[in-house]
Structures are given as C-alpha cells and as structure tokens.
Amino acid sequence: MIMKNELHEYICMWCGKMYDNPPQDGECSRCHQKKLRKGNIVVANQHSSLLIKISSEKVLKSMRNGSLWFQSPKYFREYSGDGQTVRTDIHEARYSYIDKQQGYVEDSNANAYRILCFYSLDVNANGDFLNAPDKQLSDFGDYYSLVDIKTLLKKIKSHILSQRKNISYGADFVKYLTDKYSGIYTPFCKFSDFTYQNEFRIVLLSNHFLNLDEKEPYITHPSLKNLSNVLLEHKPLSILLNAKNMKEL
C-alpha cells in the first residue's frame, strides 16, 4: 500500500519527488535529474493505493519465480493486447519536452529506458474502492496478483547494485497530462486518455540498454530469487473487476 496525500509547489517529472522550494541547482536530490516543474500538485483526499500486476497466468508465475520483464518504450508503443478495446500509446516515453505551439522534442535516448507497469487501486480507510476497476484492464491479461511494492523495490535495488551496469531507477505514479500541457515529458508522463490505467511504474535507465534491440526487454532472472512473498498467488481478473472492497480480493 502507498499513501497519496500531497500538497507541494514543485515536482520532479522523473521520480515524482515533491518540493515546497526547488533545489538551487535545479537538480532533484533523489534521482539527480534536472526535470523539475512548477505547479501546485494536490491530491485532495488522503487515501491508499493497492498495487496490482495484471497479466497472463504464465507471466505472473514467471514473475513469482524471479523473472521481472522490464519492457522497452517501443514495445508499449506497439502493444496490441489480447482484447479489442486496447489503445496503443504512440507517445510512450517518446519525448523529452512537449510544446503545443512549437511541437514535440523527441527523446533520442528513449531506448535507454526499460519499464515495468502496475495498476494502482485507490481505496479508503475501510478498504472500499474509490473507483471501480475499468473493464479495459482485461486487455492486459486474464489474471492479477497483489504486489508488496515496498519489498519489491528493495529487491530491485539490490539487483541493480549487483549488476554493476550503472543502472538508475525511479518508481512513481504516472502523471496524466491534459491536451493543453506544455513542458517536460518523461517516462512517468502519459496523456489523460489513459487515466483508466491508474498506473504505477518502475523505470530503469541505463546506457547499457542502448545496445539492446528497440523491443528487447531487460529481464532480472536469475539474480532475483523467489518472489512469491512479494507477488501473491494469482487469481482470475474477473474477481478484481467485480469486487468493491479489498476483502473481496
């Protein structure tokens, strides 16, 4: 579970760290990126988010065994899903800056990113869902697993250190932008058409990935051991789509 309750004036568009006053050099103290943007960031109602991985039964079993697949931006741009309603996001991690008047600035190092996505389910103090899960989520798979994200992040950090490939990472909720937005654009940005995904993602960044094919994933196996205590046993997605409270999951 992760708490959402924020009121700050500046946000790092890369890792999501909030500031009342920006660092003097403009560099985020958490991720060391210079991607700060000014604007009142408010989540009015305090609530928690339960993180969930939706995929096929095969993939979820593989993840519980320690194989996390961090996909490339191009993979997501061309993703078609298994259903008929899924929409490809052609803007996925594609730009470094967007300006509605001057145009979009392509990110020439987009292939240096590898991304792992989760659905975040907002709940109140009683465990009731604040919003019903969207039926379009079925295009990502037929099963779901509840995720202990804090433990998972610790394991991923240990994995990154063990690889010695100069990999940095960020983990945060996706920021959904309106069509009027102009400014910094990072792998944590998507347009408001995709708000139904209510996404939390982990993004890896490394020049090592530039040597990979544009659709080749980065896979953690075998350095990550059994993750069965981090991703719970998978269940049919229909249970999630019909539930109204955490107890029903």
pTM of the model: 0.83
pLDDT tens, the chain, 249 aa long: 554 544 446 777 776 677 777 788 888 877 777 777 765 444 434 457 899 999 999 999 999 999 999 999 998 888 765 544 455 788 888 888 888 777 888 888 899 999 999 999 988 888 899 889 999 898 888 999 999 999 999 999 888 888 777 898 889 888 888 888 888 888 998 888 888 989 999 999 999 999 999 999 999 876 677 898 999 999 999 999 999 999 999
Q: SS3 string of the chain?
A: CEEECCEEEEEECCCCCEECCCCCCCCCCCCCCCCEEEEEEECCCCEEEEEEEEECHHHHHHHHCCCCEEECHHHHHCCCCCCCCCCCCCCCCCEEEEECCCEEEECCCHHHEEEEEEEEEEECCCCEECCCCCHHHHHHCCEEEEECHHHHHHHHHHHHHHHCCCCEEEEEECEEECCCCCEECCCCEEEHHHHHHCEEEEEEECHHHHHCCCCCCEECCCCCCCCCCCECCCEEHHHHHHCCEHHHC
Q: What is the pLDDT of residues 111-151, one digit of tens each?
A: 999 999 999 998 888 889 988 999 989 888 899 999 999 99
For 179-202, what is each residue's pLDDT tens digit? 888 888 889 988 888 889 899 999
CA distance 1 to 51: 7
Q: How many CB atoms lie within 10 A of CB 7?
A: 11
